[in-house]
Amino acid sequence: MMKRMLMVLMVFLLLLSAFPVAVWGDEPQIAAEVDERKVNLYTVNLTLDNQYLASDVPPVLFQYQEQYRTLVPVAAIASYAGATVNWNGDTQQVTIEKDDTTIVLTINSAVVKVNGEDKILPSQVPAKIVTYQNRGRTMVPVAFVGQELGLEVGWDEATRTVKITTPEPEETNTPTPETPSQEQPQGQPDNSTGHYGEPLDSNGNKIEGTLKDINVTLEGDVPVIRLKTDSKVDYATARLTEPHRLIFDLNNTQLLMDDPAKVRDDKTVRVTAPGNSYLSTVRSSQFEIDPHVVRVVLDLTDPTGYHMSYDEASGEMVIRLVNYVDDVRFEQFNTKDVLVIEGSHLENYHLQMDGSRRLEVFVKESILNPGRPIADRTIGGRVINSIRVSGVDPDDNRSLSEMMVRIVVDLNKQVSAEDIYVQQRNGQLIIHMEGEPETGYRYEETGWTTSRLTFFGQGRADYQVAKEVGGELIKVTMPSDNMDIPFELLDVDDVMLEFIQMTTSDDGRNLVANIHVKPGVEVATGTLSNVQDLILQFTNRDLKYREKLIVIDAGHGGSDPGAISPNLKLNEKDVNLEVALEARRLLEAAGFRVYMTRTSDVYVGLQDRAGVANQLGADLFISIHANAAARSDLKGVETLYYPSEENPMDFRNNKYLAEIFQDEMVRTLGAASHRINARDKLVVLRETKMPAIIIEMGFLTNPDEERLLGTNEYRRLAAQGIVNSTIRYFEASLTHLSTRP
């Protein structure tokens, strides 16, 4: 087993991942640093022999020479393989040793030494240090494992997981047959019938599944693929791009068509779909013979979702191509609120105003992409207050017309149907809540601490930019006859700008944009002479915490009151929520971004609390609770954490985080210190992927602390302690954590 693990490790280091991965802009990302540059990197999951590889810096998609390559943390893989890893900061080299094999990687070099021999990583993708949440890790290309090494690579689209598996070694000395290419069939048909012989496996047992026929019909314009199998078949899926394909591998199944004429000379079956805008061809072959696997390939025109079920009445596996809603999010376009819906074939939609403060959007013939859960969000925007998303579960009895995604947008002010302007482009449905977007300029957030303002000119011209004394007013002078600016006063009021006021010079020849910026904002310009457009880049140096996202979890809620104090009858859920709301206010005032798992008295499942934090890619998870015990003399602050130091696959520094929270909460509250408690079975601590703690603010069953927890002042202090702890953790992390492989 260890030898096979070493083989996996070697392949990871020496080969480039060539497995196709579709990348869209709405996939989960992390804000990281590579080559001293801040970048946003798409993340993916990775399993090795069906075990998830957990790391404080997750596997990422790294764009190299205009292609996305999967990079993984070498320490996590080496640990799984039983190898030792050493880091030399002076030479920027990682040395991996296992048995009689030594591998030396050099950061930013595509040359790797294996037992002293130089090898070039394919496509010359070098090892990189990726820094995330102040942790620098050595990342290497994940291998596309060739069949000649006996290793298999798969891609699970639903969970965005690269799956590496190591098959068990053969027990006999039977020579291995020649391996096929990715879509090449195996097996030899009976020459007289075109069938693939008697459906028996290598041990003489009958194959359970048989693919007997393939038909494609249409529901409207949408294809339905029907695979005649006479029984329900276990299957695996993959998605390929360039060109777009959906792959279905029917396990323990033999290709045995009822009509031998449908089997072509190359031993494949090919069915041309009726005219539609989704699917061109369905192809099938006997992909493997031991075990028997039939591969079905759908050649698509664009990325499309699917739902597969078994029709008992007809004995068919039925693949329905359905439209996916991949993401629903809030954006701003030129300071105005916009709802963006992303997915496939979004043409069939309906807007409906429910009164003047609620918009409902129905995306028809669509389902939510199961691999991309969409969390309900409270926005607090200029117009959009919150967004909720729901969809039907596609079961065997639903027709395409019954599938629908419903999006509810609660508004902060009255909006009429005439105010709403809709655009469709590049797989997006863009709903402008404040009328048709203005032209002539573009203001956009380019990062958590950066933004860009562009004034579009009609031709080439010279511009002037001057920063007034005091630094919070920038004057931009532009030729009047070259510009068409649609506003006199633009109230921006974000973290960069206060407002922009347009005036005209005394001679009428120039427009002057008076840009009032927030404290700490710096401006940079591109070329100002003989250019068509004027571009201003803004950076707020005072917003060092805005890149950090904190998830605040108010424990219990709804039907779960938590502990109830014996004298004042305080419900723990109410105490938790009040402290959480105040902590959010204080954290946002300090510059952090904050998401709350609940903002009212509702029940939220434990898995959902951890799940939304993972989905959002949070930097810190804080669950707020009040304690209770059978003994009334127990008192003080308690901090719970998952013992990541005992799990070699969990690289979080939870204990260090817990120590900081315990110390700061005790100091801020003037309370006793009960204990720091390692708990390995609590869902919100175990399942979260970022550093996480549960803070118990005091005992509701202790008379003194019950009285304190019932006061607004103590609750405010508890919220302040959470803020103090959070700031101290991020400040201390800059020096506590050092780069390691």
* Phi, psi torsion values for 437, nearest 5 degrees: -65, 145
For residue 641, give both structure tokens: 């954490």
| Sequence-distant (≥ 6) Cβ neighbours of residue 162 within 8 angstroms | 17, 19, 21, 44, 45, 46, 47, 59, 70, 142, 153, 154, 155
* Phi, psi torsion values for 305, nearest 5 degrees: -80, 175
CA distances from 334 to 438, 490, 548 (A): 8, 9, 25
Residue 438 gets which letter from DSSP? P
| Three-class DSSP category at 172 | coil
Position of tokens 């963006």?
340
With helix as H, strand as E and coil as C, how does 528-554 read? CCCECCEEEEEEECCCCCCCCEEEEEE
* Nearest by Cα to 538 from 524, 558, 552: 524
* Nearest by Cα to 624 from 706, 715, 694, 529: 694
Output the furthest CA–CA distance in the chain (Å, rounded).
Answer: 96
| b/e burial code for range 292-314 (CB count within 10 A of at least 16 → b) | bbbbbbbbbeebbbbbbbeeeee
| Sequence-distant (≥ 6) Cβ neighbours of residue 200 within 8 angstroms | 206, 207
d(C-alpha 662, C-alpha 676), whole Å: 7
d(C-alpha 364, C-alpha 362), whole Å: 6
* Nearest by Cα to 12 from 90, 114, 160, 88: 114
Q: What angle do CA 46, 52, 53 make, to 5 degrees?
A: 70
d(C-alpha 64, C-alpha 69), whole Å: 7
Residue 650's Cβ-side half-sphere holds a number of Cα atoms within 13 Å equal to: 20
For residue 700, give both structure tokens: 């509701």
User: Could you say which of 434, 696, 705, 706 is catalytic?
Assistant: 696
Find the DSSP H helices in 15-83. 74-81
* Nearest by Cα to 277 from 207, 343, 223, 236: 223
For residue 258, give both structure tokens: 């009822």
| b/e burial code for range 503-527 (CB count within 10 A of at least 16 → b) | eeeeeeebbbbebebbebbebeeee
The yes-or-no answer on residue 402 being catalytic is no
The amino acid sitting at 563 is: A
d(C-alpha 369, C-alpha 390), whole Å: 11
d(C-alpha 643, C-alpha 302), whole Å: 45
How would you class 214 by CB atoms within 10 Å of its CB: exposed for 0-12, middle for 13-18, buried for 19 or more? buried
Residues with catalytic roles: 696
